[in-house]
Chains A and B, each alone.
Chain A
Amino acid sequence: MSISIVNGRLIDPAHGIDDQLDLHIDDGVVVAVGDAPAEFAADHVIDARGEVVCPGLVDLAASLREPGYEHKATLASEVAAAARGGISTLLCTPDTNPVTDNAAVVELIHRIARKLGQTRVLATGALTRGLRGEQLSEMAALKQAGCVAVSNAHFPLASTLVERRALEYAATFGLTVFLRSEDRHLRAGGCAHEGAISTRLGLPSIPSAAESVAVARDLALAEHTQAKVHFRNLSTQTATRMIREAQSSGLAVTADVAAHQLHLTEMDVDGFDAECHVSPPFRTLSDRDALRQAVADGTISAVCSDHQPHEPDAKQRPFPESEPGISGLETLLGLTLRLVDEKCLDLPTALARVTSGPADILGLPYGRLAIGSPADVCIFAPDRRWTLRASQMRSDGRNTPFIGWDFGGRISHTLFNGRVVFRAMDDN
């Protein structure tokens, strides 16, 4: 099967390309950018006039719930959601049941995902056994089974000693460690940012220092162990400043942010809106602006969905008892493009943060349109508006505060390994 995508504006941030160029695909890989090879005859031509053609998105953190939490979502439902969201590669989190702390679970996830064939699912291995934060997981076996990174999801580690050992052991095998920096003692059962809104609503609160204290600790251990450390899901101005300083002093750490953190703040929690219960919590407007700045200057080189699909019951509870998280696969591109509308980023930089940026953190050969690389492509119309409606979501989790939001960049096609896995007329 050969495909030519013609007349589009091709943006490939990894190669600094932003031009009117055609893209030619054969047998699942990119064969030419620009003019077609002499002998090339496309079986199928996609006319992308007025549209942007970019690499399929790479998402560093999505909880897909299978195995173990199929009442929330399944691999089948979530890879369909990823395809609709233009995502061709995603790392799923290890908080499954059983936990992804052994090769068997990794192989199970990879096998099911391969069969579904809608997006590339890469399992993130657990950093500790059972994610309990005490004993190291079998990281060598996890790597052999195909893990490219390890993390303890949102669970804390028992001590700085365990953290040190885990970083050293992961470094032995060249595994990148994803850390969610949060001091669990300062978190202390909180569910909202410690600020004016939580004070008024009487919600148990999490101070910004819960993040900065932990980032300081994690930076010190990253420097000491020289492990490959990636900071997940930042939420505070202070943390972005600390990571920027560490990077400029030569420490090779990277960072990401959840797309929703770039748009919502503590104010959105007002009225006890459980859809805005996320972890880390939405913080102040100046935190949000600092995160946007860090995305713009590259301190934060990846924007993630931090996808957490839930069944309705998980949110239909009093705010502190509701489960945190947003179903985010289908709004990753929309929320990122909104930053372009709001003049925070130019379009190629915005696309870099959801394609080559996250891929480069792990040294993955995806999120780019190099000749010979897998033909993962997202085609969207930057000027075409669309509205997020719960009934049209493909994810089993409809938990999102963005229902009814208006987005630019309606996706017309998603290609994965040279096959069309999503086409807009399929679901409006």
Chain B
Amino acid sequence: MPSPRSPNLQLNEHGRLRHFLTIEGLSRELLVQILDTAESFATLPGRPVKKVPLLRGRIITNLFFENSTRTRTTFELAAKLLSADVINFNINTSATTKGETLLDTLRNIEAMHSDMFVVRHAQSGAAHFIAQHASPRVSVINAGDGRHSHPTQAMLDMFTIRKHKGDFTPLRVAIVGDVLHSRVARSQILALNTLGVSEVRIVGPRTLLPTEARALGVHVFHDLAEGIKDVDVVIMLRLQNERMDGALLPNEHEYFRLYGLTDERLENARPDAIVMHPGPINRGIEMDSAVADGPRSVILQQVSYGIAVRMAVMSMAMQSQADLGGET
């Protein structure tokens, strides 16, 4: 079993991507390689994505301990476009509380000879845990663990940004909303900093920002107009309904009044700024419909790029298994 402290749990001895658990610890070159590989899947004229036989005969298992039809579907589609066979397990967490531990679940599914697990789980660290305990012939892709990490979402966001902006280095990016509870924001911040953007800002009320936010390498703003001033990219985060219950916010009305993105507020950003959102959008809470459907919104492109990015990560992780010396 690899050491749980090993920073290279995700890389094999040749420095290739074995698991994709977090952006942390991955080099700029590797992130660029993911983006370039995704590009090769995404840019065939007339067909947004080409079906390729790269993973023919491979079995990919979606292990979803937390419901998410959208994310699961994009992973499934990505796997099928790579010609892999896909099994979906939606594991009701109540089944695991009835005595079967996560480890037991894992052993059972491993016995079905899967080559890759795509894992979503409500607890931070769950994907690491599975990667540490899975057999060495299985690659693990993190499709979201607790508040920790959602690296494929971050990479499809980077892909979208690169499509529109080209070079990362001069960019200023603002991430607006519930950063505290967001695995997407954590992964985006790591990816943006690794790719060398000039500034990452987070914007929100103090109740929705981590107390040690500066440890993430960001500048903290509480005022939206100030926070998005002259930025090239505005990323709006989804506000979960339950945040109103825990005394984090007074109500949706005040949140929208202070942090909701409108065309008028967007004037503070650069004229060519793009607006992103990981979806699904709460219209009238995080942003006006005019912004969501407006010319600067790239939200729907994010969704379609998501498939190419997931194909890239899956094919790279599977290719690194060839380094183990078995059949390819």
Contact = CB atoms under 8 A, between A and B. Distances in A.
Contacts of B198: none
Contacts of A200: 24, 186, 215-216
Contact of B103 (A202, A203, A207, A316): A316
Interface stretch (A223-231, A233-241, A270-278, A362-370): A270-278
Interface string B175-212: 00000000100100000000000000000000000111
A24 B149 CA distance: 63
A318 B216 contact: no
Contact of A203 (B5, B125, B133): B125
Contacts of B124: 201-204, 272, 318-320
B309 interface: no
A320 B103 contact: no
B121 interface: yes
Interface in B267-301: none
A274 B261 CA distance: 40
Interface stretch (A12-20, A133-141, A191-199): A191-199
B73 interface: no
B101 interface: yes
B91 to A, nearest CB: 13
B6 interface: yes
Given A200-B186, A203-B147, A272-B4, A319 B125 contact: yes
A317 interface: yes
A198 B216 CA distance: 11
Contacts of B102: 317-318, 321
B128 A271 contact: yes
- What is the predominant secondary structure among interface residues of chain A facing chain B? loop
B271 to A, nearest CB: 34
B123 A199 contact: no
Contacts of A39: none
B200 to A, nearest CB: 14
B215 A319 contact: no
B213 interface: yes
B126 interface: yes
B125 A272 contact: yes
Contacts of B210: 199
Given A204-B147, A271-B4, A316 B128 contact: no
A203 B211 contact: no
A196 B212 contact: yes
B148 interface: yes
B5 A273 contact: yes
A426 interface: no
A31 B103 CA distance: 56
Contact of B211 (A199, A317, A319): A199
A204 B213 CA distance: 14
Nearest to B24: A200
B213 A318 contact: no
A199 B216 contact: yes
B218 to A, nearest CB: 11
A313 interface: yes
Contacts of B126: 318
B86 to A, nearest CB: 24
Nearest to B125: A272
A199 B212 contact: yes
Given A202-B146, A317-B129, 16 more contacts: A196-B215, A199-B212, A201-B124, A203-B125, A203-B147, A207-B211, A271-B3, A271-B7, A316-B103, A316-B133, A317-B101, A318-B125, A318-B129, A318-B146, A321-B102, A321-B123
Interface of B: 3-7, 24, 101-103, 121, 123-126, 128-129, 133, 145-149, 183, 186, 210-213, 215-216
Ordered nearest first, which 9 A-B pairs have the shortest CB separation?
Answer: A202-B147, A202-B148, A272-B125, A196-B215, A318-B123, A318-B126, A271-B5, A319-B125, A199-B210
Interface of A: 194-196, 198-204, 207, 270-273, 313, 316-321
